[in-house]
Amino acid sequence: MTITPDNDNLPEEPLVFIIIGKAYEANGDDEGVEIHVMLRAPDDDTAVREALNALAEEGFLQADLDQIGTLTDIPDEEPHASAYQGALEGEVAIIRFS
């Protein structure tokens, strides 16, 4: 008989992660672009992998990811509120800061 132990540390639904860092585009921009990436994932390793894949699809060659965390509440202000909604729908939202 197989018994699956209950673990209170595992969420029932995938978490919404926010990853903060700097990304560098293919055009040789040495300064880089400050970014926030918001997405839904089952764990932080998956979140980082999916964020890096999304950044590569957007033309970024390299990224320095500084912080990762989970969001417990819906953000009040844009563009994070829309990005959060997109993450709940399965999108990977990349917010760029100039």
Query: How large is the average pLDDT for residues 11-29?
Result: 82
pLDDT tens, position by position, 29-61 = 678 999 999 999 999 999 999 999 999 999 999
Query: How large is the average pLDDT for residues 76-80?
Result: 94
Residue 2 has pLDDT above 50, yes or no: no
Domain regions of the chain by residue span: 15-34+55-97
CA angle at 17 for the pair 14 and 19, rounded to the nearest 5°: 155
Q: How many CB atoms lie within 10 A of CB 62?
A: 13
Q: How many CB atoms lie within 10 A of CB 46?
A: 15
Query: How large is the average pLDDT for residues 66-94?
Result: 95
Average pLDDT, the chain: 87
The confidence score (pLDDT) of residue 54 equals 97
Nearest residue to 83 (alpha-carbon basis) of 67, 96, 94, 98? 94
